[in-house]
Amino acid sequence: MSGQRAIGVFDSGVGGLSVLKHIHRRLPHESLLYIADSQYMPYGCKPAAVVQDRCMALAAFLAERRCKAMVVACNTATAAAVAQLRAQYACPVIGMEPAVKPAVQYSRGKVVGVLATRGTAGSEKFNRLISRFSQQARLIVQPCPGLVERIEAGELAGEQTRMLLQSFLEPLMQQGVDALVLGCTHYPFISPLIRSIVGEDVAIIESGEAIARELERQLQRRHELSAHRRRGAVEFWSSGDRAGAAPLFGRLWGGPVALNRLAL
Ligand code: DGL
């Protein structure tokens, strides 16, 4: 990687690429280092302690490579480990927050659906967020077990993914949801499928852009934004099967991806 210090971004797998894209678009001169912890994917059905251990190991790798900021591009990992990461590292540690606030503001009928993993849905951090807004709207949380695995398999539009998604979305539609929060960074990759099920009148809201803005704000405050004028390098690492994963990475990133092997 070039001389400048990179921003480290990680997720359990390819989901965080949906956030990485926003970061790269907003901060094109920054060098980025992305880790997919694919060997341990999915995080959403694992005990929080296991997810925490993985996050600490990935963060140690990023710190060793002198990353100037860390982005936990995973809602499940943020809920499990962001406090611990912030206690350990002095650099900015940006975590995900499901976009409940904008969804509540947008919703006319004040009925908002939130799609998330079981890990996020059961976490204290997430439930605090839900209680904060529960006076202003009816918030219906829908855990989506199995969905991340479909996306990791590259099944973004197939019949099985549609049927699984329908089983999660139909109860929400029946209850009059008019804003839907994507509370997992994998889900933006199936938003066309979600749209085809919920129709045009439901807002689909994700957090990637807001996270990129927050990252920019924090680096700006520290005078640590890149002074380079050329585009930053983007490096990809995976703890899983690289040969099998590279085509999906390329498809979701929108260009060829050379995956480095992360042995952690
Ligand atoms: N992408 C992660 C999130 O935002 C979860 C994926 C997983 O379950 O591994 O919650």
Q: Is the dihedral of CA 222, 183, 246, 41 positive or negative?
A: positive
Taking only the tens place, the pLDDT of each residue in 248-264 is 999 999 999 999 999 98
Residue 172 C-alpha from the chain's centroid: 22
Q: Fill in the amino acid letter for 227.
A: A
Centre of ligand 1 from the C-alpha of residue 42, in Å: 6
Model pLDDT for residues 48-71, shown as the tens digit of each residue: 999 999 999 999 999 999 999 999
Q: Distance of alpha carbon 154 from its chain centroid, rounded?
A: 17
| pLDDT value for 229 | 87
Q: How far is the CA of 26 from the centre of ligand 1 (A)?
A: 23
∠ CA(112), CA(164), CA(34), 5° rounding? 80
pLDDT at 15: 98
Domains of the chain: 7-96+208-261 (3.40.50.1860), 100-205 (3.40.50.1860)
How many whole angstroms from 229 Cα to the centroid of ligand 1?
Answer: 34
pLDDT in tens, 115-131: 999 999 999 999 999 99
Which residue, by CA, sits nearest to atom 8 of ligand 1?
A: 44
Q: Under a CB-based contact definition with an 8 Å cutoff, are residues 36 and 235 in contact? A: no
Does residue 244 carry a pLDDT above 90? no
Q: Is 185 in the pocket of ligand 1 (CB under 6 A)?
A: yes
In this predicted structure, what is the pLDDT of residue 3? 64
Ligand 1 neighbourhood includes 206 CB (under 6 angstroms): no
Q: Is 249 in the pocket of ligand 1 (CB under 6 A)?
A: no
How confident is the model at residue 28, as a pLDDT? 97
pLDDT of residue 91: 97
One-letter-per-residue 3-state SS of 3-53: CCCCEEEEECCCCCHHHHHHHHHHCCCCCEEEEECHHHCCCCCCCHHHHHH
Average pLDDT, the chain: 96
State yes or no: pLDDT of 221 exceeds 70: yes
- Give the residue numbers marked as catalytic: 74, 184
Segment 222-246 shows an average pLDDT of 91
